[in-house]
Amino acid sequence: MRVTGQNNGQGIEKPADSAVGEIGKAREAAPAVLGSAAPVASEALASSVLAGAKAELAALPEIDEAKVQSLREALARGEISFDAERLATLIQRFHGGRG
């Protein structure tokens, strides 16, 4: 694609058959080439490789109460601060808002 800098709507040339189109065709064909065996194989691999990690993760508590308590104490002593407005901005930015 070439942009000539003209503002009359004719400044952009679109190639008839580009490499981008070929990539798109290859992506569309990929599921047909892989067939239905790919998900089964990847699930089996993930299951065997991650079995130990999953067991250790399941044994961990949902919330680290000791860490939460130490943060509460540090907040109470004034060692760390909490900026609710900054947190709200970061949450909005993370979820696609502008901020």
Q: Please write the tens of the pLDDT for every residue from 56-92.
A: 888 988 999 999 999 999 999 999 999 999 999 999 9
| 4: in domain | no
User: Are 23 and 56 within one domain?
Assistant: yes
Going 40 to 42 to 48 to 52, the CA torsion angle's sign is negative
User: Are 56 and 74 within one domain?
Assistant: no
Residue 23 has what pLDDT? Answer: 56
Q: Are 69 and 79 in contact (CB under 8 A)?
A: no
User: Are 76 and 49 within one domain?
Assistant: no
Sequence-distant (≥ 6) Cβ neighbours of residue 5 within 8 angstroms: 11
Residue 1 has what pLDDT? Answer: 47
Count of structural domains within the chain:
2
Torsion of CA 39, 45, 46, 49, to 10 degrees: 180
> Looking at per-residue confidence, does 50 or 32 come out higher?
50
Strand, helix or coil for residue 25: helix
| 92: in domain | yes
Residue 68 has what pLDDT? Answer: 95
User: Are 69 and 54 within one domain?
Assistant: no
User: Are 56 and 72 within one domain?
Assistant: no
Provide the residue range defining the domain that includes 49: 18-60
| 23: in domain | yes
pLDDT at 96 over 70: yes
CA–CA gap between residue 99 and residue 91 (Å, rounded): 9
| 41: in domain | yes
